[in-house]
Structure 1
Amino acid sequence: MQQRVLKTLEYDRILALIAEKAATESAKKRIEELTPTLGDYDLQRTFTLTGEAYDTIRVKGNIPAGGYKEVREYVIHAQKGGTLRGGALLKIASAIKYAQQIKRFIFSEEYESFPCENLKQTAGEITDLKSLASSIESCILGEDEISDNASPALSAIRRKMRRLNASLKDKLSSYTKSDTAKYLQEQLVTMRNGRYVIPVKSEYKGSVDGIVHDTSQSGMTLFVEPRSVINMNNELRTLESEEAREIDIILAEFSQKVAQKALELTANEDSVILLDELFAKAGYAYERNYTKPLINKERYIELFRARHPLLDPKKAVASDLRIGRDYTQIVITGPNTGGKTVALKTLGVCLLMAQSGLFIPAGEGSSLCTFENIYADIGDEQSIEQSLSTFSSHMTNISSILNDLDENCLVLLDELGAGTDPSEGAALAKAILKFIRDKGAMCVATTHYNEIKQYALTERGIVNANVEFDTVNLKPTFRLTIGLPGKSNAFEISRRLGISEQIIEEAKNEMDMGDARFEDLITELNDKIKDATQSRDEAHRALKQAREAEEQMNSELEKLKASKNKMYTEAVVSAKQIVNNAKKAAKDIISSADKYSKGSSDRSLRNEASELAKAALDELNSLMPKHAFSLTDDPARAEYDFKKGDDVEIPELSGEGSILEIKEDTALVQIGSIKTRIALSKLRPGAKKKEKTFSYTGSKAQSASPTLDIRGITGQEAQIEVEKFLDDATLANLKVLTIIHGKGEGVLRKKVTQILQEHPLVESFRLGGLSEGAGGATIVYMK
């Protein structure tokens, strides 16, 4: 792609805006140097990665790369045997931590909500070097500050230095408190040339035995190192040299560690820069609602709601543009007010962005083909130095374009044929368009010549288009309409700019009648199209509102359903707890009453215990859950023909007894040593009364069983039976159930699957194995 074309279409300005989103200088540079030269495979991979970054930003924001500072130059320096200073080592430690933070961000839990395997693959290449970073940060405290713990030798040297410093200060402080104090300019201890000294008045130069290291600017003060501390100062300087050497050793050792991890560090940085670049491109696209273009091989372009990326998105009017299927050339006509050129540049920029792997300022579903070359002749390129007129400059450029054309090219021509005699310019423009068409290249050109408009109406493979113009504000709206030529609007523009009506009417009379009728026809057709477009947009808005209302209604229904399921689950759990508590209480009462009755010799006390137990059981019986939450309410209870003296089981009390009397639908039952009245519906035949066993058959709800057979019933009946079966099983604390539905046509199996998927108390389910009924049964696991 020619650099001249990139500059003409202001592609560098667009890349600069995207690059501002990057955190690292390398990512910024890579974006600024993007060129539309990628192959199909590279394009698709780039779009995939950018799309995953786009989705990430949409779900949880941008990657935390803002504080990352590149360290490649430091790593290379260490790799070559150089020693890094503390500041460089700290930057490396910081880079390691930021890289790990970015990796954690990519692999964080909320990221599992959508597949982004390519980003994970890139982030997964970041090596964990936390131990190196921790080691550096524990020893390097600042640019020139090393921790005492960096090495045992450094720690020992600094302990000696602290002790010696204290001794030196004490020694010199004694001069400020002795007879020598009168010779001092101030009562303080200071340093000169790295040695401790005291300030002596110049007139007492010989009164303090020592070495003069400095003099004040006034000459009134001499900074003297007393002879008594010279050895101590020398020792301190020696320790400082040892400290510096030990620090150099420590820094060299860390530099060697960095060199040993050079490959991992540079690979990590490459991954961070790539992710930074991807998220910068995705972030720019996300902020402006850009979309991923489709790349086709059928040699056509379809842009929906396209807009120029350098125009204010709040003011720019989106347009549709199609070329390549029914026609390969578009002639955009209309007034000379800039709208046509913007439409031309919008197409060019969208193609450049798409072929660089960037999202484009257009709607979903926009599809583009790739071009080996895009040529553009846009703007006034008059050359003063070469003595070329505007027309000559354009023709020179177009000549070079025509020499290199083939079917893999797109040509963008602004004001084709302008700058010379109109009739000659129009004829030349038609000839150039024919030549480009015959070469097989696509072309979009702008013009204001009526001859070109008429040519496009009759010639094959070419179509007119116009840019809508606001005659009130004298500005183009940038909305492109394909199929009709544009009107020049010269008279209307002139009228609004102050040209008198008399002059305008005179000009109209001077026009060729054919041209005038042609302009009027264009105006009429454009008005009809505008009305139709407005009606279509209103219909689209109404449809959108209806869909939004439907989505909101569905959302509310889902919320109500979820709330119902939650309340249902809580109620079942509560009922189950009541039943369990009641069973335990009943057992305790019966056991206590029996024990007390047998152990007491006082008959009245035994009777009182039995009465108390009976009252307690009656109270518990009244508290037992009824109807939907009862464990043992049984519609088939009529089959039990209980009589006085029958042995019975009471499942809710986990006990057995015998019937003493029956009154209406209740029975007085003897349970151990106590008597209580219980509803017949809560009784089951005892060991001597059982004449047949009951299991869930699907037609009747029996006591909780782990098996339900629904073969031979309808789907609606199955719905009722399966839901009751699951409820009773839950209250009975059954965890594994079997539903027999048979194979047949699979209607009942599908119905069972639907019920189980929606039931809030089902943990999971599967088809039965060979020994479990195979495909004719479903095994259910309850929560």
Structure 2
Amino acid sequence: MNQKTLNKLEYDKITLLLEEQASSFRGKQLCRRLKPMTDIDKINTYQEQTAAAFTRIIKKGRPSFGDASPVEESMKRLEIGGALGSGELLRICRLLFNAARVKSYGRHDTQEELADCLDNYFDGLEPLTLLSGEIERCILSEEEISDDASSTLKSIRRSMESINGKIHATLNNLVNGSLRTYLQDPIITMRGDRYCLPVKAEYRGQVHGLIHDQSSTGSTLFIEPMAVVKLNNDLKELYAKEQEEIQIILSRLSEEAASYIEEIRTDYRILTDLDFIFARGSLALSMNASRPLLNTEGKIHIREGRHPLLNTQNVVPITVSLGEDFSLLIITGPNTGGKTVSLKTVGLFTLMGQAGLHIPASDRSELAVFHQVYADIGDEQSIEQSLSTFSSHMTNIVSFLKKVDSHSLVLFDELGAGTDPTEGAALAIAILSHLHKRRIRTLATTHYSELKVYALSTDGVENACCEFDVESLRPTYRLLIGIPGKSNAFAISGKLGLPDYIIEDAKKRLSEQDVSFEDLLSDLEASRHTIEKEREEIAAYKREIEALKSKTLQKQEKLEEQKNRIIREANEKAAAILRDAKDVADETIKNFRKFGKENISAAEMEKERERLRQKIKAAASSSSIQIQKPRKIYKPSDFKLGESVKVLSMNLTGTICSLPDSRQTVTVQMGILRSQVSLSDLEIIEEPVSYTAKNMKRTNKGKLKMSKSLSVSPEINLLGKTVDEAVMELDKYLDDALLSHLNTVRVVHGKGTGALRKGIHEYLRRQKHVKSYRLGEFGEGDAGVTIVELK
């Protein structure tokens, strides 16, 4: 790929952004050196690596590669048998620790996680835990070796500590004793690794020892007392032994590291390669980019592409195609309308895609693999070469027209500009026609109307425009394929205040053909706006229909599930009843056979029959719902002539024949029986009523509804049920409770994990007929119960 095109399309700014995402030295180098490739297999490999890193970053975050310091020089020294310093060994140790962390990061947490192309990288890492652990144990920092690095070093340092103690004790006795009056300061100091005392110069003869230094004024001499000379000599010998032992330790560690030269090199290479790959994944994440589809047929289809170097808040996505229905796209429109940005977006996306980078566009965007991209963009004027803008552009165009072929992409910005418009337009058409005949993929921007006509009249050539809002005098930066752009010169001039008579005079000077062409463009623009508006309305209707369809399917599935559950429960209950009936029948037949053979008394037979009758009665009562109806207290005015009542003491129904008297009794006709009955022994039989929107007549259906509602308990127990089962049962129960005019009900769900309570509360929050709900208080069931108030 030629460097001039890379500079024109600002590809180097993308590699700088990529380099910022890397952390290791070699990783940054790989980012900086990344260039577009032409081998589609290699490009797809890079794209797959970028996609795998992108996915892992989203799932687990990004691993750190900061400790992957270069180790090649150290490895070469080890190969020739040299010993490494503590700093080099620590760098190797950090490299191995980082390899262990990255290898752990690369493991799949679950078996369900799919393998990807990065698994081979992670599997190839060798943490060499024993070597890194030994280096860490022996070397504390670049300046400090651990006492535990060897027993000899530990013994030497223990001896050094002991001699140091003796020297300080001896010198402290001298400082605080006989030599105190001779000292400049009562302190112990060091001169050349030997302990000394600061003695006043005039007392030189009073202090026996070796002079090691004197102050700048000569008033103080630094003397090593004879009492500590031997101790200092011993200490110096131990210092030498310590350094010798440290070199032995470093040599031993270097020998151990030399056994793993290739493994360490491999770890370094893999870590930096992964740093490079994850830098590409991080860049894709920061740009909200996606993996492009690649082809070798020259087809480009970018969906909602956003130029990566523009502000993400302001950039307007473009959708552009090339190479399938047409090989030449001519983009027209006013200045600052986004034509050059559209051109650069296509070119830069091509370079990024061929470099293995994701592009900031929607999924399923497609790019072609080109061997070369040629771009004539921007001001080519050269003062040094005395070339005009037109000459510079033409020099650049001539240079690559000799090289282009069917595997090239050519980009022209304002082709033919900088010279006479008529000649410039003719030259531009000739150049584009030459490229079009050779089936070379080309994008060009222009102002010339002649090129718009050329695109309309030539097969395989398409117009496009960057939309411009005449009302606000601002471009929208939307790229519209298939529509040539208007110049808008007259409309813009009028909005800016140019007098109408000047604009009208200018229009008269246009040829009839030019006027007709501009009118055609205006009609196309109006038609496009209408079609777009209708398309948006159709899309909204489609979304609404899809939502309704989805809701209906969910409701249907819920009803189907409820129906199946009811049928299943009914079949289970029926099977249980049949089993019980069969057991009773078998037992009865068995007993009667027994009674026929043996001489059984009639009393015993009657006793057995009564036992079976009680068993059947118990089974029947357990399968029916017992209605516990609260006793209602009536007033005398509630009893009217002809009212149906039930006499509780006799368990008979009748009709009131007289109004209540002073003794609170009425006459009740019960069949052929007529009797005086106390009001307290009566219960009014209320006929169930079914209410409809049109009338208030009593119906058998109404009786069914009311009798059903009479059986509703003020409490429902949902313990042991799943959330779906509980919500379904609660929904039916609340309907019944509303029919029964219950104001408050009690929902028992238990405490447990809280999942059932949460699901029930979510359901209650959405119900319009629920006025409020709360957890039960002390004595009501606490958090295991929810009290629901109905409207």
TM-score past 0.5 threshold:
yes
What secondary structure does 1:368 align onto?
strand
Correspondences of 1:121-140 after superposition (within 5 Å): 121-140=120-139
Distance 1:536 1:638, change over 3 A: same
* CA distance, structure 2, for counterparts of residue 556 and residue 207 of structure 1: 111
| Separation in 1, partners of 2:359, 2:319 | 13
1: CA distance, partners of 2:552 / 2:257 = 60
Cα offset, 1:550, TM superposition: 8.1
Distance 1:254 1:556 in 2: 72
Asked if 2 retains the 8 angstrom alpha-carbon contact of 1:666 and 1:680, the reply is: no
For 1:109, what is the secondary structure of its paired residue? coil
Counterparts of 1:109 and 1:542, CA distance in 2: 44
Q: Is the 8 A contact 2:333 2:466 kept in 1?
A: yes
State the one-letter code of the partner of 1:422: P
Q: Distance in 1 between matches of 2:288 and 2:554?
A: 25
Mapped to 2, the partners of 1:304 and 1:394 lie a distance apart of 31
Q: Counterparts of 2:286 and 2:546 in 1: how far apart (Å)?
A: 25
Name the SS of the counterpart of 1:200 in structure 2: strand
**Displacement after TM superposition at 1:313 (Å):** 2.1
Deviations 1:165-218 (A, max 9, x none): 001111111111212111112222121111111111122122111112122334
Name the structure 2 match of 1:30: 30
Instruction: Give 1:256 shift.
Output: 2.6
1:466 is matched with 465
Flag the 1:538–1:191 CA change in 2: closer, same or farther, 3 A.
farther
Deviation of 1:325 after TM superposition, in Å, equals 1.6
Q: In structure 2, what is the equivalent of residue 507 of structure 1? A: 506
Equivalent residue, structure 1, for 2:410: 411
SS at match of 2:21: coil
Structure 2 CA distance for aligned equivalents of residues 109 and 486 of structure 1? 55
Deviations 1:687-712 (A, max 9, x none): xxxxxxxxxxxxxxxxxxxxxxxxxx
Local SS of the residue matching 1:374? strand
Alignment of 1:37-56 (within 5 A): 37-56=37-56
Question: Do the aligned residues in 2 keep the contact of 1:19 with 1:280 (CA within 8 Å)?
Answer: yes
Rounded to whole Å, the distance in 1 between the matches of 2:372 and 2:555 is 53
Paired residues of 2:411 and 2:443 also in contact (CA < 8 A): yes
**Residue 457 of structure 1: aligned partner:** 456
Structure 2 letter corresponding to 1:451: E
Give the SS at the match of 1:454: helix
The structure-2 alpha-carbon separation of the partners of 1:343 and 1:203, relative to structure 1 and needing over 3 Å to count, comes to same
Q: Deviations over 1:44-94 (max 9, x none)?
A: 222222212222222232223355444444334434444333233222212
AA aligned opposite 2:191: R
Letter in 1 for 2:229: I
Secondary structure of the corresponding residue to residue 98 of structure 1: helix
Deviations 1:95-145 (CA, angstroms, capped at 9, x unpaired): 2111111111121415x4441331112111101311111111111111101
For 1:23 and 1:376, locate their aligned partners in 2 and report how far apart those are by CA, in whole Å: 33
Distance 1:629 1:59 in 2: 47
2:522 maps to 523
Matching of residue 323 in structure 1 with residue 268 in structure 2:
no
Task: Tell me the secondary structure at the aligned position of residue 362 of structure 1.
Answer: coil
Q: Distance in 2 between matches of 1:408 and 1:441?
A: 7
The DSSP-based 3-state class of the residue aligned with 1:206 is: helix
In the alignment, what sits opposite 2:277?
A: 278
Cα distance change on mapping 1:57 and 1:548 into 2, 3 Å: farther
Equivalent AA in structure 1 for residue 587 of structure 2: F
Contiguous gaps of at least 5 residues in structure 1: 563-567, 569-625, 648-658, 669-676, 683-726, 728-783
| Residue identity opposite 1:637 in structure 2 | D
* Conservation of the 8 A alpha-carbon contact between 2:38 and 2:369: no
Distance in 2 (alpha carbons) for counterparts of 1:261 and 1:426: 69
The equivalences for 1:617-636 within 5 A come to 633=576, 635-636=578-579
Taking the aligned partners of 2:106 and 2:504, their CA distance within structure 1 comes to 69
Partner Cα separation in structure 1 for residue 243 and residue 501 of structure 2: 94
Output the aligned Cα RMSD.
Answer: 3.5
Aligned residue identity for 1:310: L
Give the distance between the partners of 2:262 and 2:521, measured in 1 at CA: 68
Q: Which SS does the other structure have where 1:159 is aligned?
A: helix
Seen in structure 2, the aligned counterparts of structure 1 residues 458 and 268 have a Cα distance that, compared at 3 Å, is same
Moved more, 495-504 or 185-194: 495-504
Aligned counterparts, 1:68-467, within 5 A: 68-110=68-110, 112-337=111-336, 339-467=338-466
For residue 7 of structure 1, what is the aligned residue in structure 2? Answer: 7
Residue 328 to residue 381, structure 1, CA distance change in 2 (3 Å): same
Would the alpha carbon gap of residues 87 and 338 (structure 1) be closer, same or farther in structure 2, given more than 3 Å must change?
A: farther
The answer as to whether partners of 1:457 and 1:463 remain within 8 angstroms in 2 is yes
SS in 2 for 1:636: helix
Q: Which has the larger radius of gyration?
A: 2
Q: Deviations over 1:284-311 (max 9, x none)?
A: 1123221111112333111111121111
Cα separation, partners in 2 of 1:37 and 1:548, compared to 1, 3 Å: farther
What's the CA shift for 1:387? 1.2
Q: Is the 8 A contact 1:637 1:681 kept in 2?
A: no
Deviations 1:340-387 (A, max 9, x none): 111111111111111111111221111222111111111111111111
Match of 1:637 in 2: 580
Give the aligned residue type for 2:454: Y
Q: Is the 8 A contact 2:302 2:366 kept in 1?
A: yes
Correspondence 1:767-778 to 2 at 5 A:
none
Q: What amino acid does structure 1 have at the position aligned with 2:247?
A: D
Deviation at 1:509, TM superposition (A): 3.7
Would the alpha carbon gap of residues 642 and 119 (structure 1) be closer, same or farther in structure 2, given more than 3 Å must change? same
**Farther off after superposition, 549-558 or 431-440:** 549-558
**TM-fit CA distance, 1:472:** 5.1
Contact 1:50–1:278 (8 Å) recurs in 2: yes
Whether the aligned pair in 2 keeps the contact of 1:468 and 1:480 (CA below 8 Å) is yes
Matches of 1:470 and 1:132 in 2, distance apart? 69
- Superposition pairs of residues 523-672 of structure 1, within 5 angstroms: 523-537=522-536, 539-540=538-539, 633=576, 635-640=578-583, 641-643=586-588, 661=608, 663=610
Q: TM-score, normalised by structure 2?
A: 0.70
- Provide closer, same or farther for how the CA distance between residues 679 and 456 of structure 1 changes in structure 2, counting only shifts above 3 A: closer
Residues 90/678 of structure 1: CA separation in 2 closer, same or farther (3 Å cut): farther
Checking the alignment, whether the CA contact within 8 Å between 1:633 and 1:681 is kept in structure 2 is no
- The one-letter code matched in structure 2 to 1:364 is D
Q: Supply the distance in 2 between the matched residues of 1:544 and 1:226 (Cα, whole angstroms).
A: 99
Contact 1:70–1:95, Cα closer than 8 Å, also in 2: no
